[in-house]
Amino acid sequence: MPAARPGGLRRLLRPHRAVRAPALLLSAALLASGCGAGASTDAPAAPADAAGRPRTVSDCGHQVRVAAPPRRAVSLNQGSTEILLSLGLADRMAGTATWTDPVMKGLEKANAGVPRLADDMPSFETVLDAEPDLVTASFASTLGTGGVATREQFTELGVPAYLSPSDCAGKDNSGDGDGVRAEPLTMDTVYGEVRDLARLFGVEQRGEKLVADLRSRVDKATSGIDASGVTLMYWFANSTSPYLAGCCGAPGIITRAVGAENAMDDTHEEWPQTGWETVADRNPDVLVLGDLTRRSQTAETAAKKIEFLESNPVTRNLTAVREKRYVLLSGQAMNPTIRTVEGVERVAAALRAYGLTK
């Protein structure tokens, strides 16, 4: 779920509280200082100054415009946070929120210097109290109706708001679940998010280097791999009615990269909930398990998932369970983030280790 995507974060959201006077004063200060100048979503891009400012990017049908390099960005989801940290922007961040996993390796020191506003969903008031000059999010359920606030609420207060294109491009989020994809997601969309954020902060070269590094890792991990005929099933959370990956989100990127098949590829839902009888009927060759640190669902950790699989009479005779063919991934690797590359690496390595590649 957006804290760790599946599991319907909408069930966990707290109602918005009225914004206190300090937040209202902040809003006025932002408007007066010009941070929100031209922040209207239909404002045309202004000519860049000598320093390449202001900057505008097209984002999920909106125009996100910053009049100056952001100095107090707030990231509302871990995926967005890790992009900003990977771009070396920790000193320009005023806060983060909504975490599923430990921060990505190599970013621990940078992350330690950024205030954590909340482990889960922060209130609108809490975010405004951080005096942001840009808000970023990975999911429409965070930056949208029922989330922290809508992007319109932020822009009305002079705070530009950016939503990851991976949660809107070719995707319908209007239902009660985690959305439905009309077309398969690709890493190019994630790379586009990296480039957008790098442009807004004026660090385009860092963005290109990060994209190049990620592409190189995918190429290295999948070089010569052929797992055709091998079926994978991705279990994110919940032992009562498991959230399993549909065809076309981040797990789809991983599956296609290694040439395997997703046992649930007949659904375009991002993370449909299903029954264990369906899992038994499809009997995957390999189970990819979310190893989460949050505690909002049942069977969050990989250890709890394996304990369930090996003791439940419906699942203990699955091929993947009998052969102990498990791949453990962070929640972020199973979401459309830069850590999806980590998912490709780990699944590819496991398939080779299990002797399932040609």
Share of the chain above pLDDT 90, in %: 80
Residue 32: partners with Cβ closer than 8 Å, 6 or more residues away: none
pLDDT value of position 100: 87
* 240-to-12, 235, 305, 306 alpha-carbon distances in Å: 17, 12, 11, 14
Q: Is the pLDDT of residue 24 over 50?
A: no
Q: Is the pLDDT of residue 7 over 50?
A: no
Bigger pLDDT: 151 or 44? Answer: 151
User: Which pTM value belongs to this model?
Assistant: 0.85
Angle formed at CA 284 by CA 1 and CA 246, multiple of 5 degrees: 35
**Sequence spans of domains, the chain:** 9-215, 225-353
Reported as a single tens digit per residue, the pLDDT across 38-47 is 333 333 333 3
Q: Which CATH superfamily is domain 9-215 in?
A: Nitrogenase molybdenum iron protein domain (3.40.50.1980)
Residue 291: partners with Cβ closer than 8 Å, 6 or more residues away: 101, 301, 302, 328, 329, 330, 331
What value does the mean pLDDT take over residues 108-118? 98
Residue 50: partners with Cβ closer than 8 Å, 6 or more residues away: none
Going by pLDDT thresholds of 50, 70 and 90, the confidence category of residue 52 is low
What's the mean pLDDT when you consider all of the chain? 87
Q: Is the pLDDT of residue 289 over 60?
A: yes
| Pairing of the two strands 62-66 and 55-59 | antiparallel
Same fold, 9-215 and 225-353: yes
Q: Is the pLDDT of residue 263 over 50?
A: yes
The CATH topology of domain 225-353 is Rossmann fold (3.40.50)
